[in-house]
Amino acid sequence: MVSTLVSLDISADDTKAEAARITRCGQYSKSEQSPIRASSDSSAMHRSPRSSASDVSSSVLGHQRFNGFERPYSRDQVISWIGHSLSALCFVIGAIGVYVCTGRGSVEEEHSSSTITTMTVVAIALHVVNAVILVTSWKSCETIDPAAAVEDSLPNGWCGVRLSGPRWDKTRYCALCRKAVPGLDHHCTWLQTCIGKNNYAQFFTVACTGTVQFVLQ
């Protein structure tokens, strides 16, 4: 009987010791895991879903263009610059050469002709006037922001020209410039800008004067 009681006491003590050891191990594991949980919880609290969404949207949508002179330039835009400059230069050189060879006091008197000289002078004068209108309208078309309100950018219109009507009051979105443009007609790759209510008159003038320039040349 005594031996039985002694064995029961020993087993009870062993059970208590084992329970205490398990409790200590549990507390130790919790103390190791708590910094990790705390750091993850704090990082989750400081993480902003709105900022991450804006970062993703900005990387996907890219940069919004404001006018045609803003980089990067398109290939067609650079080609148009070079083409117009070279054609104008060749025309001026050719016209001066014709005037020198056919005008009064020319290097070849037998080939002088007042008619050719007059036509050359008239062509040069028309070309200069046309070039001034072309450059003026082109600069206005490129520098203006098509998405801006017409009342703010061109309160009096361009050279007195004002566009009105349902077509010009409707706002459409340009995926290339990434902005809404009032009266959007199209995106011109040769000018690298949107053509809308703000700059359609300038664009039309550029198209007409550019055609006249090549006809004169």
Tens digit of pLDDT for each residue in 58-89? 333 457 888 888 888 889 999 999 998 999 89
**How many other CB atoms sit within 10 Å of the CB of residue 143?**
15
Cα 53 to Cα 69: distance, rounded to the nearest angstrom: 30
105 in a domain, yes or no? yes
Closest CA relative to residue 216, chosen from 131, 115, 147, 150: 131
pLDDT at 22: 55
pLDDT at 108: 52
21 and 110 co-located in one domain: no
Cα 141 to Cα 147: distance, rounded to the nearest angstrom: 12
Domain range for residue 194?
75-216
60 in a domain, yes or no? no
Determine contact, residues 189/74, Cβ cutoff 8 Å: yes
Task: Tell how strand 179-182 and strand 186-188 pair up.
Answer: unpaired
198 in a domain, yes or no? yes
Q: Which two tokens stand for residue 164?
A: 């009105």
Cα 190 to Cα 144: distance, rounded to the nearest angstrom: 16
How many distinct structural domains can be found in the chain? 2
pLDDT over 80 at 1, yes or no? no
Cα 175 to Cα 161: distance, rounded to the nearest angstrom: 28
> Which residue type is seen at 124?
I
In percent, how much of the chain has pLDDT > 90? Answer: 32
181 and 92 co-located in one domain: yes
If you average pLDDT over residues 145-169, what whole number do you get? 84
Our separate counts of H helices and E strands in the chain read: 7, 4
pLDDT over 90 at 134, yes or no? yes
82 and 169 co-located in one domain: yes
67 in a domain, yes or no? no
Tens digit of pLDDT for each residue in 4-49? 433 434 444 555 555 556 555 555 444 444 444 444 444 444 443 4
pLDDT at 104: 60
Burial of 59 (0-12, 13-18, 19+ CB in 10 A): exposed
